[in-house]
Homo-oligomer: A and B are copies of this chain.
Amino acid sequence: MPVRLRDVANRLGISTAAVCKALKGHKDISEATRQRVLECVRELNYQPNLLARGLSVGRSKAIGLVIPELMHSFFAEIAHGVTRQVQSKQYTLLLADSEENPEAERQAVELLLARRVDGLVIASAQSQNDLSLFEELQRREVPFVLLDRRYPAIKAPFVGIDNLTLGRLATEHLLKIGCRHVAHISCLSIATGPGRLEGYLHALEAHDGKANPRLIVDTTRAGTESVDVAAYQAMRQLLSSRPRPDGVFCFNDPIAVNAIKAALDVGLRVPQDVAVVGAGNVHYSDLLRVPLTTVDQSPAAMGAKAAEILLQLIESEGSLRPADIFIPLNLVERESTRRPRRICEREKGGSPARRSVRSGLSKAGGSGT
Chain A interface residues toward B at CB < 8 A:
1-2, 47-52, 54-55, 60, 62, 65, 69-73, 76-77, 79-80, 83-84, 87, 90, 92-97, 99, 104, 108, 110-116, 140-141, 226-229, 252, 254-255, 257, 260-261, 282-285, 287-289, 291, 300, 364-369
Within the assembled complex, what's the spacing in Å between the Cα atoms of A351 and B24? 66
A366 adjacent to B228 (CB under 8 Å): yes
Name the contact of A51 in the complex, choosing from B47, B51, B110, B288 (C-beta under 8 A).
B51
Within the assembled complex, what's the spacing in Å between the Cα atoms of A59 and B209? 63
Within the assembled complex, what's the spacing in Å between the Cα atoms of A260 and B70? 28
A232, closest chain B residue (CB): B365
A95 adjacent to B83 (CB under 8 Å): yes
Name the contact of A93 in the complex, choosing from B77, B95, B283, B287 (C-beta under 8 A).
B95
Within the assembled complex, what's the spacing in Å between the Cα atoms of A99 and B84? 9
Name the contact of A366 in the complex, choosing from B79, B110, B112, B226 (C-beta under 8 A).
B226
B283 adjacent to A73 (CB under 8 Å): yes
A87 adjacent to B96 (CB under 8 Å): yes
B367 adjacent to A226 (CB under 8 Å): yes
Copies in the complex: 2
Q: How far is the CB of A254 from chain B (nearest CB, A)?
A: 4
Contacts of A62 in B (CB 8 A): 94, 115
Within the assembled complex, what's the spacing in Å between the Cα atoms of A288 and B288? 3
A141 adjacent to B1 (CB under 8 Å): yes
Contacts of A95 in B (CB 8 A): 65, 79, 83, 93-95
B55 adjacent to A83 (CB under 8 Å): no
Contacts of A76 in B (CB 8 A): 70-71, 73, 76, 79
B94 adjacent to A94 (CB under 8 Å): yes
A187, closest chain B residue (CB): B369
Contacts A73-B76, A84-B99, A287-B289 known; 6 new A-B pairs at CB < 8 A: A50-B116, A51-B115, A72-B368, A87-B104, A92-B94, A226-B367
Name the contact of A2 in the complex, choosing from B65, B112, B140, B254 (C-beta under 8 A).
B140
B87 adjacent to A80 (CB under 8 Å): no
Name the contact of A47 in the complex, choosing from B114, B252, B284 (C-beta under 8 A).
B114
Contacts of A70 in B (CB 8 A): 76-77, 79-80, 83
Name the contact of A92 in the complex, choosing from B47, B49, B79, B115 (C-beta under 8 A).
B115
Q: How far is the CB of A325 from chain B (nearest CB, A)?
A: 22
A47, closest chain B residue (CB): B114
14 A-B pairs whose Cβ atoms sit less than 8 Å apart in the complex: A52-B55, A62-B115, A71-B367, A71-B368, A72-B368, A73-B73, A79-B95, A80-B97, A83-B96, A87-B96, A90-B111, A228-B366, A254-B368, A284-B288
